[in-house]
């Protein structure tokens, strides 16, 4: 079974430019999470989806970050415009809504803002 897929794996952009990350969760997983992981820190939740609904986006900086999960499958996280402090690894995770308590993580996208 394929795991959580993320692309791109690496992205380098100039500050003030837009950037987008894509995630395809494990088939059948209704819950999808986006996390940000700063260097030397643990992941921090940005947003959680149940199917296509964002049920917790309290930690998402809404002035520059946006996310969508059309059709309740894959998801896109966007930053516009990017700032130097946005450099981090952006992780996507998915989970069976009514099944186990385990979240399965993708490999992440490492963003560098110059």
Partner 1 sequence: SQQGEEDPQALSIQEGENATMNCSYKTSINNLQWYRQNSGRGLVHLILIRSNEREKHSGRLRVTLDTSKKSSSLLITASRAADTASYFCATETGANNLFFGTGTRLTVIP
Q: Rounded to an integer, what distance in angstroms lies between the CA atom of residue 15 and that of residue 10?
A: 16
* 89-106 exposure pattern, b = at least 16 Cβ within 10 A, e = fewer: bbbbbbbeeeeeeebbeb
Q: How far is the CB of 106 from partner 1 (least distance, A)?
A: 5
Task: Return the structure tokens found at 46.
Answer: 């940005």
Q: Between 30 and 81, name the residue whose CB sits nearer to partner 1.
A: 30
Q: Between 48 and 69, name the residue whose CB sits nearer to partner 1.
A: 48
The SS3 of residue 1 is coil
Q: Between 33 and 65, name the residue whose CB sits nearer to partner 1.
A: 33
Angle at 16 between CA 11 and CA 22, to 5 degrees: 35
Q: Between 19 and 23, name the residue whose CB sits nearer to partner 1.
A: 23
Q: How far is the CB of 107 from partner 1 (least distance, A)?
A: 4
Q: How far is the CB of 16 from partner 1 (least distance, A)?
A: 27
Which chain residues interact with partner 1 by CB under 8 A?
4, 31, 33, 40-45, 48, 56, 91, 93, 101-108, 110
């Amino acid at each position: 079974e394929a795991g959580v897929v993320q692309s791109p794996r690496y992205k380098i952009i100039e500050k003030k430019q837009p950037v987008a990350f894509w995630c395809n969760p494990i088939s059948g997983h209704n819950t999808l999470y986006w996390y940000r992981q700063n260097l030397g820190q643990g992941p921090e939740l940005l947003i959680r989806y149940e199917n296509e609904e964002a049920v917790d986006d309290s930690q998402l900086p809404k002035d520059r970050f946006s996310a969508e999960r059309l059709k309740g499958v894959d998801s896109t996280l966007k930053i516009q415009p990017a700032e130097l402090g946005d450099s981090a690894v952006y992780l996507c995770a998915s989970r069976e809504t009514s099944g186990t308590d385990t979240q399965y993580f993708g490999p992440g996208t490492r963003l560098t803002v110059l």
